[in-house]
Structure 1
Amino acid sequence: MLIVTTENIEGYRIKEVKGACYGLVVRSRGFAGQVMASFRSLAGGEIKEYTAMLEDARKQAIDRLTNNAHAMGANAVVMFRYDSGEIGQNMSEIVAYGTAVIVEKIE
Structure 2
Amino acid sequence: MILSNTTDVVGYKVTESIGLVNGSIVQSKHVGRDIMAGLKTLIGGEIAGYTEMLSDARDKAIQRMAKEAEGKGANAVINIRFTTSAISQGMSEILVYGTAVVLTKI
TM-score by length of structure 2 reads 0.92
SS of corresponding position for 2:24: strand
How far apart, CA to CA, are the structure 2 residues paired with 1:77 and 1:35?
38
Q: Given residue 92 of structure 2, which amino acid in structure 1 is its aligned partner?
A: S
Partner of 1:18: 18
Partner of 2:61: 61
Q: Which residues of 2 match residues 14-93 of structure 1 at below 5 A?
A: 14-93=14-93
Shift of 1:89: 1.9
Query: 5+ unaligned residues in a row in structure 1: which ranges?
Result: none
Q: Given residue 17 of structure 1, which amino acid in structure 2 is its aligned partner?
A: S
Shift of 1:12: 1.1
Q: Which range moved further: 29-38 or 68-77?
A: 29-38
> Superposition RMSD on alpha carbons, in Å?
1.1
Shift of 1:91: 1.1
Residues 57-92 of structure 1 deviation map (CA, whole Å, 9 limit, x = unaligned): 011111111101101110001101211122222112
Shift of 1:43: 2.3
SS of corresponding position for 1:8: coil
How far apart, CA to CA, are the structure 2 residues paired with 1:42 and 1:96?
33
SS of corresponding position for 2:5: coil
Identity %: 43
Residues 28-64 of structure 1 deviation map (CA, whole Å, 9 limit, x = unaligned): 1222221221221232211111101101001111111
Query: 5+ unaligned residues in a row in structure 2: which ranges?
Result: none
SS of corresponding position for 1:7: coil
How far apart, CA to CA, are the structure 2 residues paired with 1:92 and 1:43?
25
Aligned pair count?
106
Q: Given residue 48 of structure 1, which amino acid in structure 2 is its aligned partner?
A: A
Partner of 1:3: 3
